Amino acid sequence: MATMTPRPTGITLDKTAGELIIAWADGATCRYPLSHLREACPCVECRGGHENMGASHDPEHILVLKPARSYTVDRLELVGNYGLQPFWDDQHHTGIYTWDYLRRLCPPSDPSNPSTAAE
């Protein structure tokens, strides 16, 4: 039987800190730096074509990415029961970040840096 991806119990867009904070039903809390999250956009345009789509092309976690610049989110919209669609300050908004994808992108726990800790 396949393991179900935990669902969020809380979603906070902290524009001042520049991060998306998601509390998950399994007890984890993930803090995603917005600029890194933008670099992880899962849309076909950002991925460079359909051949680069899918979990096998996902980064191990979000902090391995090197943002090209600082990004902010103008707004977030829920997409059905399965994800979020950010509307970025660079006018990009075609990426849909599924719960599964966001959970896989969760930064590793790092007690020396509370902004990246997954509890």
pLDDT at position 6 is 82
pLDDT at position 114 is 42
Bigger pLDDT: 76 or 53? 76
What is the fold of 10-108? NE0471 N-terminal domain-like (3.30.2020)
Indicate if the pLDDT at residue 83 is higher than 70: yes
Confidence of residue 79 (pLDDT cuts 50, 70, 90): very high
Rounded to two decimals, the pTM is 0.84
Amino acid of residue 30: C
Delimit the domains of the chain by residue range. 10-108
pLDDT at position 3 is 62
Q: Centre a 10 Å sphere on the Cβ of residue 17 and count the other Cβ atoms it contains.
A: 13
Q: Is the dihedral of CA 29, 33, 37, 39 positive or negative?
A: negative
